[in-house]
């Protein structure tokens, strides 16, 4: 067997942006055009772009690889190529071993079927045999903590329960190569921890793992090696820490991004009242403003803020919705501005601000920039940690009784 679990060599993938003809009515004119022009190894047409642009890397058995990159950098497309769902326009992909891809939790779940039925269905879809599922069934249900609801149709589940069950099935696969896309961001915090621990156990068992997440902390903790993608190219490949740092340093280009959703973030600033940016003094009031633009009709857009420190711990998170502000709906071309007044009660250090556009009721992410901007906080006091409690040392004196003090002195 090859020492490599996975090899990608000079992989290119051409995508077309905008509308495709997907009715026969539109096909005929385009066929005529194509017949006149010829196809195949041609150059890019104006409406086309390389979503993967000359990607090459090898992955050894047992390696854990994290893929990071901004929205639209090509992460998901790359995973789809690894798992064989898509085929490259050019280049070769070699996969040695049984590969399982968790690109969506609960794929194939049907709302009218019970949890039990869905476990079997989903398990087989993900590549297990029914015997295997039977054997692991109790374990799967226990892991999802759904023993009491397993015979309830999943349409009565909360979204958290749904996600937990889906993840639990997936976590009990025993693949040689495991590809995980963002699925760990399901459920509550405790369950995310549990999921990450489970993945770690899979990796310890010798599996090769490829992990894509916006949760940089998880990527850094979990993966030994990282790849940074930008506009379909690998721009950094090395130890995760180094890759994540590079990622954070490449400030997101706000405009000129491909976004899937109907709305995008066009500008993010954090500044003091007198317009100063970049450096702040702890405790200082600051204003964060986010500009939003609708590309098509965007319903119920809420703005979410996320502050991370350099260890990628989330130190702060809020949103317009959680601050009691109704989400806004935008017509195509319409813009909106959202301003948060904050006090930077942070410990000294560098922080990264992430911004999301999110629709809460259907849990849809319209856009996501991380980091949208970064800033440095300094303090007149030497403290460590993410929070700043503004300590004032008011007293420090020996208060032992005199005889004890004497004994110590002697």
Partner 1 sequence: MIEAIKEIARNRELLYMITWREIRIRYKQSVMGLLWAILMPLIITGAGIMVRIVAAKVSGNPITSADIGGIGIKALPWAFFVSALRFGTTSLTGNSNLVTKIKFPRLLFPLSSVLTSLFDMAIAFPVLVLLLPLSGVRFAATMVWIPALLVTLVMFTAGLSILFAAANLFFRDIKYIVEVILTFAIFFTPVLYDASLAGKWRWVLMLNPVAVVLDGLQATIVRMRPPDVAWLAYSAVAATLLLCGGVVFFRRLEPRFAESI
Sites of contact with partner 1 (CB under 8 A): 15, 20, 22-25, 27, 80, 83-87, 101, 103-104, 107-108, 110, 112-113, 117, 120-121, 124-127, 129-130
Among residues 168 and 319, whose Cβ is nearest to partner 1?
A: 168
Q: How far apart are CA 79 and CA 108, in angstroms?
A: 19
Per the listing, tokens 């399901």 go with 186
Minimum CB separation of residue 253 from partner 1 in Å reads 25
Q: Where does 231-322 show beta strands of DSSP type E?
A: 233-239, 263-271, 279-281, 285-294, 298-309, 314-319
Minimum CB separation of residue 227 from partner 1 in Å reads 21
Q: With both helix axes pointing from N to C terminus, report the angle between 130-144 and 115-125 in degrees, rounded to the nearest 10.
A: 120
Minimum CB separation of residue 14 from partner 1 in Å reads 10
Among residues 22 and 39, whose Cβ is nearest to partner 1?
A: 22
Minimum CB separation of residue 134 from partner 1 in Å reads 12
Sequence-separated contacts (24+) of 116-123 with Cβ below 8 Å:
116/150, 116/151, 118/154, 118/165, 119/150, 119/165, 119/169, 122/166, 122/169, 122/170, 123/169, 123/172
Q: How far apart are CA 254 and CA 265, in angstroms?
A: 7
Among residues 177 and 307, whose Cβ is nearest to partner 1?
A: 177
Among residues 122 and 373, whose Cβ is nearest to partner 1?
A: 122
Sort 84 into a burial class: Cβ within 10 Å, 0-12 / 13-18 / 19+: exposed
Q: Where does 240-284 show beta strands of DSSP type E?
A: 263-271, 279-281
Minimum CB separation of residue 299 from partner 1 in Å reads 21
Minimum CB separation of residue 109 from partner 1 in Å reads 9
Tell me which residue of 256, 324, 335 sits closest to 289, measured CA to CA.
335
């Amino acid at each position: 067997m090859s020492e490599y679990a996975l090899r990608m060599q000079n992989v290119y993938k051409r995508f077309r942006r905008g509308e495709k003809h997907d009715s026969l009515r539109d096909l005929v004119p385009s066929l005529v055009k194509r017949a006149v022009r010829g196809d195949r190894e041609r150059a890019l047409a104006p409406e086309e772009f390389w979503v993967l642009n000359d990607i090459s890397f090898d992955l050894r058995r047992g390696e854990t690889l994290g893929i990071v990159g901004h929205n639209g950098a090509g992460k998901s497309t790359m995973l789809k190529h690894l798992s064989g769902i898509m085929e490259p326009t050019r280049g070769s992909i070699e996969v040695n071993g049984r590969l399982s891809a968790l690109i969506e939790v609960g794929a194939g779940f049907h709302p009218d079927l019970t949890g039990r039925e869905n476990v079997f269905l989903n398990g087989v879809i993900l590549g297990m045999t029914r015997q295997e599922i039977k054997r692991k069934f109790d374990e799967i249900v226990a892991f999802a903590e759904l023993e009491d609801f397993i015979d309830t149709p999943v349409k009565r589940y909360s979204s958290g329960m749904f996600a937990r069950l889906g993840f639990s099935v997936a976590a009990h696969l025993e693949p040689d190569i495991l590809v995980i896309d963002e699925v760990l961001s399901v459920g509550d915090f405790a369950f995310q921890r549990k999921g990450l621990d489970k993945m770690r156990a899979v990796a310890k068992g010798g599996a090769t793992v490829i992990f894509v997440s916006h949760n940089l902390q998880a990527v850094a903790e979990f993966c030994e090696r990282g790849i940074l993608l930008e506009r379909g190219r690998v721009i950094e490949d090395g130890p995760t820490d180094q890759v994540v740092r590079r990622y954070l340093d490449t400030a997101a280009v706000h405009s000129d991004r491909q976004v899937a959703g109907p709305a995008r973030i066009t500008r993010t600033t954090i500044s003091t009242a007198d317009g100063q940016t970049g450096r702040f003094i702890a405790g200082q009031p600051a204003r964060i403003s986010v500009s939003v633009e609708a590309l098509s009709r965007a319903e119920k857009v809420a703005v979410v803020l996320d502050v991370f420190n350099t260890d990628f711990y989330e130190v702060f998170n809020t949103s317009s919705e959680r601050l009691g502000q109704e989400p806004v709906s935008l017509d195509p071309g319409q813009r909106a501005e959202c301003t948060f007044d904050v006090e930077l009660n942070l410990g000294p250090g560098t922080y990264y601000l992430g911004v999301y556009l999110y629709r809460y009721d259907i849990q849809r992410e319209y856009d996501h920039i991380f980091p949208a901007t970064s800033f440095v906080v300094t303090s007149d006091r030497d403290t460590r940690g993410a929070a700043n409690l503004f300590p004032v040392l008011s007293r420090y004196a020996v208060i032992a009784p005199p005889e004890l003090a004497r004994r110590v002195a002697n």
